[in-house]
Amino acid sequence: MVIKKNSLLKKLKITLLALGIAVLFIWFFFYVSMQNILQQHTIQNMEQTSLRIISELNQSFLHLEEVSFSMSKNDNVKKMLLSGDLIDFYQNAEAVNTDLNEMIKNSPFAEKVIIFANNNRFYRFSGQLNNTSIKRLQALIRSNEIEQHIQISLDGERYIGYTIAILDEFDKPCGQIVMLISEKEILQLFVRVEGNEKLKILLGAADTIITSNQLELQGMSIAEFENSQTHVLRKSIGFTPFELIISYTETDKNLNLFFILALIILILMLLIAFWFFVSAWRKNFFIPIQKVITEVESIDGTANSCLPLTGYDYLDGLICRINDMISRIEIKERELYKATLSLHEAEIVKQRSLIISLKKQISAHFTINVLNIIKALSNQGENGKAGLLCDGLSSLYRYANEGDSYINGLEEFFILRKYIGIMEIRYPNRFSVEIDMEDYLEDIKLPRMLLQPIIENSIVHGFNSNKAVSDVLGIIHIYSCLQGKTIDIVVEDNGCGMDSDTLNRLRTSIENVSIKENFEVEGLSHVALINIQRRIISYFGDAYGLQIESAENIGTRVTVSLPIL
């Protein structure tokens, strides 16, 4: 295993980076929170400012509305407007002027009050306007013909007006009263109340900005203005057609600059702190640890392979313990090697005993049956078949008793043909065998007598057991295939197969095979596959062995996986 010496340092850097990101995230959260607090504070200020302005405007505009309404119902006003000649008109105007002065004496905004009659007569009750301006005002009012606000420039000054119709006793319009307010007075109120030059204060009516502390906004649509702003408050002024709009778009630039500078300084401080921290830990911890790791990687298991001391007290204690552990491991390894060698020698003896036992089983179970068949064939006069059986039996004996443990694949497949020939005479017309012999089998080494027990299982248990179907010809197909550095030899048949419980028990027995177990061979019909698995493990290890697939009344497939030697 290759130890990554830089992994600890990398993890520390990642940890510090994560810590830095967390700090920045906290700072960002703090910044957003402060922005929200400032925005809420701004909105509160806007609310308070709007309330102060509306309070004063309400007082003035509502007073004008009350005066206008009262004057529209005043009998002297109606008498004045319905006067037949001009002298009566002006005489009645004196009484109206007395009533009007009493009503508007406490209103600071009522600079211009004019009453127009339907017969083009008019009377100025307050303020100084020339006749030309009054006629322009009269034309503007008549063109609107409804009660509403007006906005007009007269004598070089801008006015905002409020008009209301005066009805006679038959509820027919007989004139109008107009009350004008100087726009300068309203703007002075805005400046006096706002106290913050960043606020935009607007007076609007009929979705149009009438006046504002920023003159470039006059005449703009209120909806358009709202869409272009960040924070907008919009409040109606009493029952008048006017409404107050207050906006605060920009945040405090100085505060934003402070946050940005603080963030930059924080990042620089974090980078410097991280650099000093990593440098100190790299010098006093990671470099010594890397030296220790390098020494550990160079340990080859030979004698006296102890680690040198580093000179750092907090590491040398650990190294002394490691050296002590290495010494104990070396002692244990020598003892384990001796024990493994003894076990291997014992296992070799056991495997030889197993092979001898297998050979004896051929003699005990197979040979007697074959000789009985030979005797029966001779008595029946079928000497040719008896001779074939003798020839096959002698070949099996020579093959089983030769000294070499490994043979090539072609030899194993050849002896299988001899064995199959004997079994075909023993069980006539019960099965047929298909063998695919590939050229590469000549270069493949197999343990001797490895496949014969599998073939015997197929014949005896697949085609000649109580579960086998007697009128179905059994077929055994034997073939091989290469899988990289592994060869798979497959023996499949269409015999009676196994039910799922039997198959699971057999697979469990094969998976749990251990070459260290003490066992006695009970006969090929019972433990042949388990013995084969044990032989393969003892020769090649746990990575190789048998895989069994089977289905009842369909057949069985046994795959033998072996390394290519």
Q: What is the pLDDT of residues 285-326, one digit of tens each?
A: 777 777 777 776 666 655 566 777 766 666 677 777 777 777
* CB 183 within 8 Å of CB 194: no
- Distance, CA of 444 to CA of 239 (rounded, Å): 107
Instruction: Give residue-wise pLDDT tens across range 177-217.
Output: 888 877 777 777 777 665 555 678 888 887 888 888 777 88
Q: Which amino acid is at 557?
A: R
DSSP tally for the chain: helices H, then strands E: 15, 16
Indicate the pairing of strand 112-117 with strand 173-182. Answer: antiparallel
Q: How far is CA 257 from the centre of its chain?
A: 36
* CB 281 within 8 Å of CB 273: no
Query: Could you give the 3-state DSSP secondary structure of residue 541?
Result: coil
Provide the 10 A C-beta neighbour count for residue 131.
9
Q: Which of the 8 DSSP states describes residue 165? A: E
- Distance, CA of 411 to CA of 399 (rounded, Å): 9
Q: Which single residue is written with the structure tokens 């303020």?
A: 127
- Distance, CA of 94 to CA of 395 (rounded, Å): 153
- Distance, CA of 225 to CA of 76 (rounded, Å): 44
340-563 folds as: Heat Shock Protein 90 (3.30.565)
Pair of tokens at residue 525 = 């019909």
Q: Which single residue is written with the structure tokens 């592994």?
A: 486
Residue 481: per-residue pLDDT: 92
Widest Cα–Cα separation across the chain: 169
- Distance, CA of 242 to CA of 148 (rounded, Å): 9
- Distance, CA of 540 to CA of 536 (rounded, Å): 6
Indicate the pairing of strand 431-435 with strand 474-483. Answer: parallel
Q: Which run of H or of E encompasses 279?
A: helix 253-281
* CB 305 within 8 Å of CB 327: no
Which of 529, 527, 531, 559 shows the shortest CA–CA distance to 544?
559
Q: Which single residue is written with the structure tokens 């207050």?
A: 246
Residue 521: per-residue pLDDT: 43
Lateral strand order in the sheet of 200-205: 208-212, 200-205, 242-247, 232-236
- Distance, CA of 377 to CA of 395 (rounded, Å): 19
Q: Map out the domains of the chain as residue ranges.
A: 12-247, 340-563
Question: Which ranges in 362-491 belong to alpha helices (H)?
Answer: 368-379, 383-401, 409-426, 452-457
Residue 550: per-residue pLDDT: 92
CATH architecture entry for 12-247: 2-Layer Sandwich (3.30)
Strand partners of residue 236: 243
Residue 489: per-residue pLDDT: 94
Q: Which single residue is written with the structure tokens 């920023």?
A: 214
Provide the 10 A C-beta neighbour count for residue 247.
22
Query: Could you give the 3-state DSSP secondary structure of residue 112?
Result: strand
What's the N-to-C CA distance of the chain in angstroms? 27
Residue 148: per-residue pLDDT: 62
Provide the 10 A C-beta neighbour count for residue 268.
10
Which residue ranges of the chain lie beneath pLDDT 50?
1-5, 146, 361, 363, 518-526
Residue 366: per-residue pLDDT: 67
- Distance, CA of 457 to CA of 452 (rounded, Å): 9
Which of 526, 510, 512, 524 shows the shortest CA–CA distance to 560?
510
